[in-house]
Every structure is written in C-alpha cells, then in structure tokens.
Amino acid sequence: MKTREYQILLHACSQEGCLICKLALESTRRYLEAFKYEQFTDVGIREELRRTQGFCHTHTWQLVRMGASLPLAQAYRDVLSDSIDQLRHSTPTAPGAGRLRRLLEGRNGAGRASSAGTPGSTRPDCPACKRHALAEERYIQDLRQALLDDEFMGQLSASSGLCLEHFRLANELRQTAVHGDWQQRLQQAQLACLERLDARLGELIRKHDYRFQDEEKGPEMHAWKQAAGLVGGEEIQ
Ligand SMILES: [Zn+2]
Ligand SMILES: [Zn+2]
C-alpha cells in the first residue's frame, strides 16, 4: 500500500504550498537541468525545439536564471537560423491580414464557433510545459489513490491545501478510475485547509489595525503569501 509515490506525496504535505505545484515544478526543473547539462546536444531534442521555436517565455527565462548559456546559445541559434532562412525566401504579406479577417468573420454572425480562436495560428507546445502537464497528471492520479489512506488524509488536511487550479484539476481530470470516496475526502481536506487560511488572513488583517499593533505576531503574518500561492499557484523557485 505505502508505495514510493505515496511517500513522495506524504512528504510534500509537510512542506508549505500546494503539493501538486511543488512536485510538478520540481519535475520540470529536473527536465530543464537535464537539458542544461546533457540533452541540449541530443538531436531529437534540438529538432523538437526547432519545431516549437524554443521554450515558452516562462521556461526560457527559467533557463536563463539557471545559467544555461551555452545550451540556449546553441538551441536558439537553430531557431534563429530558421527565421533567417524564412526571411530570405519569403515575400512580404499584409501584416496579420489572415488572422484579422478570421476574427472579424467570427464576430459578424455566421460562425460563432470560429470566433473561439484561430486553430493553427498558435505556436506548438513548449516541451517543458508538456513535461509539466504530464507531471501534474501523474501526481493527481497518485493523490486520488493516497486520499483513501487515513494517515495521508490527516497530513493533507494539516497542509497548505491545493491551489485552486490543482483542486479543480484533481476533481475533473479524466483518468484511470480510483475506486473509493477519494473525491469526498479531497473536498473535506481542502475545506479544512481553506478555513484555516481564512482564519489566519482574518488575524493578519486585524493585526494591521493600529489598535492591535502591539499584539504578538504569529504564523498569520505569512498568510498573505500562502493566499497568493493558493489562488495564483505556487512560485517557480
Ligand atoms: Zn497547485
Ligand atoms: Zn513552457
């Protein structure tokens, strides 16, 4: 019953912040580290990065902060040389004409469905974002299983809880069925976490009042940061 996956989740409960955020961010960081130290020379990865035109904004700058200078220089030079080729061989078109026309057509009656976006005009998914989404799915599957265990329930209820986005995903993701009342237990644990944070926020706000400023400060003084992580998702370290 107490698998390695279970132990990882249990340990994550003892740390501050949404455990799915933390674990998925760690997994993505390991992926970026592997890219930085070895995989940037891998032909397959270089090809993929050419196709996706690099990593997204978030992951490009995460790599910059990680000091991945040579890997970025080499991989992004590929992307640049593709752009140079395109510029050398293309003739100018009216700026954004196609996209604008599609948007206008979508707005003026007829095709309501077509206003929902312009498929094909978006850039392919960043490889690190894909890795992040896979990690989220895997940990959510493990979480549903772990929720059936009473020890885990206790730890999760005493933790920071899930951020709003991961709570939604944990409820809604279509995955291999886990038999048992995991969903009810998830809601019960999340409610305990939210109520505790709400009380701490109340205390923090109350102690900001000059009449109570001499009172001793406690864990509630960090509650604003916990609320930021819970509502907006945890920060990339
Ligand atoms: Zn989260
Ligand atoms: Zn990304």
Return the pLDDT at 218.
Answer: 79
The pLDDT of residue 215: 80
Helix (H, G, I), strand (E, B), or coil: what is residue 152?
helix
Residue 142 identity: D
Nearest ligand to the C-alpha atom of residue 163 = 1
| Residue 74 one-letter amino acid | Q
Longest dimension (CA), the chain: 71
Residue 142's alpha-carbon distances to 71, 146, 149, 176, in angstroms, are 34, 6, 12, 11
Predicted pLDDT of residue 110:
40
Residue range 80-92, pLDDT digits in tens: 999 999 999 987 7
Q: Which residues surround ligand 1, an ion (CB under 5 A)?
A: 18, 20-21, 163, 166
Q: For CA atoms 170, 172, 175, 176, give the dihedral sign.
A: positive
How many whole angstroms from 148 Cα to the centroid of ligand 2?
33
Query: Dihedral of CA 56/32/66/12: which sign?
Result: positive
For residue 203 the two structure tokens come to: 């205390």
Count of C-beta atoms within a 10 Å radius of residue 159: 20
Q: Which amino acid is at 112?
A: R
Confidence at residue 177, expressed as pLDDT on a 0 to 100 scale: 87
pLDDT for residue 114:
37
Ranges of each domain in the chain: 4-109+119-131, 149-232
Integer Cα distance of 14 and 10 in angstroms: 7
Q: Which residues of the chain have pLDDT under 50?
A: 107-120
**How many angstroms is it from 53 CA to the middle of ligand 2?**
11
Q: What angle do CA 210, 215, 219 make, to 5 degrees?
A: 110
- Ligand found nearest the CA of 60: 2
CA of 135 to the centre of ligand 2 (A): 13
Ligand 1 center to 13 CA (angstroms): 12
